[in-house]
Amino acid sequence: MTDHFKLDLTQRPRRLRRTASLRAMVEETVLRPADFVAPLFVIEGKAAPEPIGSMPGVRRLCIGDAVKECRALAKLGVRAVALFPKLDGSLKDAEGSAALSEDALILRAVRAVKRAVPELTVMTDIALDPYTTHGHDGVLSEDGGEVANDRTVDLLREMAVLHARAGVDLVAPSDMMDGRVGAIRRALDAAGFEQTGIMAYSVKFASAYYGPFREAVGSARAAGTAPLDKRTYQMNPANRREALRELELDDAEGADILMVKPAGLYLDIIREVRGVTRKPIAAYQVSGEYAQIHAAAERGWLELAPARNESLLAIKRAGADLILTYFAKDMALALR
């Protein structure tokens, strides 16, 4: 073996990887705090933050603590939060009636955050699963066999108007009912909320990675019962063409931002939908994705920060403009 062997190469891509400065100059995808939306879980009263066992570092917060967290996020450059309520079981029923209360926990949280941090974009989930005893995203048919599409959409219209009145910037229907984006848009406009935007969970798959979130909002199955089966409304993970169809429908019905959920397992879908719309694309790095990175790091199988960073970089590189992630605050701190 000789050290004097030279390949006759004109093209040597490694030239631009030789130093940190060169690598930074030609970096194609860059993460910023403003790319992230921080999901926050809100609870009633003035209780201390409640750790969520399956989501290390994530806690349920009372409204006062949620406001403090929003202030901290805004100072770090995170421009948006997504608020989710965790209700006491006594407030739930089969119809999700608490979702239409003028004094709902989530509405009080929105008002408090918008008063304290008016520059922060606040979005809220429009779905019934935190409010129903059965944990589904809508009301059930009379025989209980499936979620009733049109009755659910009627309730979601009312829910969206209540949230707009409370001051949210974006309502985010996550239910996957047919026609709900158009119905919500018409309801908002009729109520005088033409400027309230819709971030639609347009391509939401029936994923095995939602478990920790369901623990966080209290919509998980009770012990000894069968897992929730949402495959009659959430999408089949096997389907790509159907994803495009769903996204195109929400686009046409007036969604302002279109979302793919989950993110990390569906980078191909993010890339594909990026090519069919000029509207912003959001992607949700879901609770199971977050939990598995933490679990592997706790066992010493991965380094937490590099794995976290790479997972988020991949989502943005695939075409996402916004990333909902439980790593939002940690990433904003790391990017300072």
Active site residues: 204, 261
Residue 126, strand partner residues: 173
Spatial contact of 33 and 78, defined as CB atoms under 8 Å apart: yes
The number of C-alpha atoms within 13 Å of 253 and in the hemisphere containing its C-beta is 25
Spatial contact of 66 and 76, defined as CB atoms under 8 Å apart: no
Secondary structure of the chain in HEC code, one letter for each residue: CCCCCCCCCCCCHHHHHCCHHHHHHCCCCCCCHHHEEEEEEEECCCCCCEECCCCCCCEEEEHHHHHHHHHHHHHCCCCEEEEEECCCHHHCECCCHHHHCCCCHHHHHHHHHHHHCCCCEEEEEECCCCCECCCCCCCECCCCCCECHHHHHHHHHHHHHHHHHHCCCEEEECCCCCCHHHHHHHHHHHCCCCCCEEEEEEEEECCCCCHHHHHHHCCCCCCCCCCCCCCCCCECCCCCHHHHHHHHHHHHHCCCEEEEECCHHHHHHHHHHHCCCCCCEEEECCHHHHHHHHHHHHCCCCCHHHHHHHHHHHHHHHCCCEEECCCHHHHHHHCC
The rounded radius of gyration (Å) of the Cα atoms in the chain is 21
Instruction: Give every CB contact of residue 41 below 8 A, 6+ residues apart in sequence.
Output: 52, 58, 59, 60, 61, 84, 85, 86, 216, 217
